[in-house]
Amino acid sequence: MKKSLFILLFFVLFACPALAEPTLSEYVEGEVLVVLNAPMSTFSTQGASGANAFSQSLLYQAEAFADEYGLEALNTFSEIASVSGNGIIHLRSEYKSTDELIQELSSSPEVKSVSPNSIRRLALTPNDPGYPEQWGMNNISMPFVWDYFTGNDAVVVAVLDTGIDYTHPDLNANMARDSYGNYGRRFYNYLQNDDPMDNNGHGTFVAGIIGAVGNNGVGVAGVNWRVKLLAVNVFYNGMFYTSDIIAGINYILAEKNKGLNIRVVNISFGELETLLPDDSPEGTAIKSLSDAGIICVMGAGNNGVNIKTEERTRFYPACYRFTNTIAVGSISDDNYKSYFSNHGGEWVDIAAPGEGIYSAWLNNSYRFASGTSAAAPHVAGAAALLSAAFPNESSTQIKARILNRARNIGVAERFWAKGTLDVMSAYSAIPTITTTALPRGVIGVAYNQTLSASGAAPIFWSLAGGILPIGLRLNMNTGLISGTPTTLGTYIFTVRATNAAGSAVKQLNIEIISGSAAPIITTASLPGGDVGKPYNQYLSASGTAPITWSLASGSLPSGLNLNANTGLIWGTPIIARESSFTVKATNSAGSYVKPLSIVVARLGIAPRITISSLPGGEVGKPYSQYLSASGTAPIIWSIASGSLPAGLSLNATTGAITGTPTTMGTSSFTVRATNTTGNITKALSIVVRQ
């Protein structure tokens, strides 16, 4: 590649008034991008340490592969490898041509595909300023959408381009920050830095269409008045290298994996070239975006050609076809195909305004420009706005909204597969009332039931015919039917659900009945308890309140009680056993009985008397000695047989034998130690001397 071609490319992009004959892509001589048949690393990517090990392993193995062929490994792309299951290596040779490298590496059993490091061009052709209004926003029905929704800054759009002038007053408030606190990143000639500032203008122009702040009295309004824009600058020396594009995609995936809610990527550049496989290095990277749930919107190119399946040329990357990719052509303000736009119903999905578009430019300025570079961000902006409006829908569902609700313009001519962009149609859908039936109501009992409908919010509710039951009302904003019915009968009525797209009606009815609902005991079983441990468990029943509780037969465990008003069984069990009983729930409509049981178990360790003997005493001299035992407290002491010496007594709580002996002699007796788990006895004696 000669340097003069770089310079020529720069001037062709910004000065050519008419279409040039399409040419195939240039590439960087002596460089290739290789996709391997299997992942280069078996390391786990889970967690920061796992991701680092995975990335390092990729690098080591890439260098080993490069050494095998006498090449230099310039880069690997770990995030793409983790999503796609295939490693990509950027290789360079000081001695071999690109054609020689492709021929040599294609025969390797380790290689799935090999491609040149192609150069991509901008797809925007600026025009003189002066066009008086943003006709494109009216064309795609944005004023109607903005009445209901203007975007949400929870959604991030990655602009893979020449960067963004993040100081621009119409863009600064909508700039995203990556995990490092920067507005994005720049990738150029195998290098990178954390300043994605735009020095060309193209990326700033694209960003303005997607998300210039709206209704702020400054400049222009983007499709989204509120959104977050991540600048990914992959522009170097007047062009885009495929290796830098892949590095930028790798960065986007890394930021998404770190929690940045990137839902859309805009790519407004490309090149017409010989047919490439979908598993080429660039195709593998684009597929990784799609597989990660990111909608990839790409300009179809400005060569003015009809892209046909039978031809051997395609415009890349727009002609990579994956689940979440959209290729966009350009229309003029009369809805006809722009003279410069690539087209073809087999390869171009949809068209959007791309001629005479007014948007942000460098140095706080604005200008007019034309190209599929301007068309694609209208669709990317729509994808972001719809992702914010319908956050629970998948990227595939958002893509379907855009394509399936496009205007049927240019389809018959096979310019576009689906037609032209209509954001209002994609945003709105005539409501469908999904409530199939409403439950009965009871006189004097509060009624609450919310109607439901599919379709674009907000949906407003009204009565189209008939009347609600007396005492009930319909909330027009929420669809809630609420109140307290006062009159018996079956009430037939028709509800209407209305949104910006239209309305739907449906006939429903509510039957109002009298009386209370008899109780049904819903408690299936009761948990067990432990002796000496507090017990609290509520019985439960359906039916009209108030419900009173009682025992119909049997008895609760000793120590437990039943609260008649609350159904609470409470207390502290004192005997270990299973107690069976029948409870009754009663209200004004009737009663219900149910057999239940509670098993009470002993809690703790039985006592064991540890004192082996007692010392003697003397007549008239105070005596004090404590009995001792192991086991769960509290332990209660008593005399099981015999008697203590005259003048002495046993404390049942502490086990202390105290007093003053009055009679000489030997007294034999048996003591008993008792707790909640059991009891034990032991024979002892005390000798009293004179």
Which residue segments constitute the domains of the chain, with CATH numbers given? Answer: 21-117 (3.30.70.80), 120-426 (3.40.50.200), 432-513 (2.60.40.10), 520-601 (2.60.40.10), 608-689 (2.60.40.10)
The tens digit of pLDDT for each residue in 411-430 reads 888 999 999 999 988 987 77
> Cβ neighbours of residue 107 under 8 Å, at least 6 residues apart?
none
Which is more confidently placed, 267 or 15?
267
Q: Looking at residue 498, what is its pLDDT?
A: 87
Question: For the segment 305-359, what is each residue's pLDDT rounded down to a tens digit?
Answer: 999 877 778 999 999 999 999 999 999 999 999 999 999 999 999 999 999 999 9
Q: What is the pLDDT of residue 51?
A: 67
Predicted pLDDT at 43: 44
Q: How many CB atoms lie within 10 A of CB 455?
A: 21
Section 178-187 average pLDDT: 96
Lowest-pLDDT choice from 137-151, 192-206, 402-416: 137-151
Q: Hey, which residues are catalytic here?
A: 161, 202, 373
Of 631 and 379, more confident: 379
For residue 38 the two structure tokens come to: 């299997």
Q: For 430-576, where are the E strands, in sequence order?
A: 432-433, 441-442, 447-450, 453-454, 460-466, 472-474, 480-483, 489-499, 502-513, 520-521, 529-530, 535-538, 541-542, 548-554, 560-562, 568-571
Torsion of CA 518, 522, 524, 526, to 10 degrees: -100
pLDDT in tens, 129-157: 332 468 899 999 888 888 888 999 999 99
377 φ/ψ angles, rounded to the nearest 5 degrees? -65, -20
By C-alpha distance, which of 328, 342, 316 is closest to 33? Answer: 316
Residues with Cβ within 8 Å of 64's Cβ and at least 6 positions away in sequence, in order, are none
Mean pLDDT confidence for 632-651? 93
Q: Find the helix packing angle between 202-211 and 372-389, rounded to 10°.
A: 40
Question: What Cα–Cα distance (Å) separates residue 242 from each residue in 129, 235, 247, 347?
Answer: 32, 10, 9, 21
Q: Is the pLDDT of residue 127 over 60?
A: no
- Confidence at 446, pLDDT banded by 50, 70, 90: very high
Question: How confident is the model at residue 620, as a pLDDT?
Answer: 93
pLDDT score at 126? 33
Distance CA 498, CA 464 (A): 11
pLDDT tens, 495-549? 999 887 778 999 999 999 877 778 899 999 999 988 888 999 999 998 888 899 9
Q: Give pLDDT tens digits for 254-264.
A: 999 999 999 99
Q: Determine the Cα–Cα distance for residues 576 and 599; give it in Å rounded to an integer.
A: 8
Lowest model confidence (mean pLDDT) among 113-127, 149-163, 631-645: 113-127
Pairing mode of beta strands 365-370, 125-126: antiparallel
| Rounded percentage of the chain residues whose pLDDT exceeds 70 | 92
Question: pLDDT-derived band of residue 40, with 50, 70 and 90 as boundaries?
Answer: low
Rounded to 5°, the CA angle 33-39-43 comes to: 130
**Whole-number Å distance between alpha carbons of 435 and 432:** 9
Tens digit of each residue's pLDDT (9 = 90 or more) over 581-611? 999 999 877 899 999 999 988 777 888 999 9
DSSP state of 354: -
Across the range 433-460, mean pLDDT stands at: 89
C-alpha 228/C-alpha 257 separation (Å) is 17
Centre a 10 Å sphere on the Cβ of residue 615 and count the other Cβ atoms it contains: 8
Share of the chain above pLDDT 90, in %: 63
φ, ψ at 249 (rounded to 5°)? -65, -40
**pLDDT at site 129:** 35
Confidence category of residue 661, pLDDT binned at 50, 70, 90: very high
Helix (H, G, I), strand (E, B) or coil at 135: helix
Using CA atoms, how far residue 249 sits from 85, 203, 272, in Å, is 15, 16, 21
Q: Write the DSSP symbol of residue 80.
A: H
- Mean residue pLDDT of the chain comes to 88
At residue 122 the predicted structure's pLDDT band, cuts being 50, 70 and 90, is: low
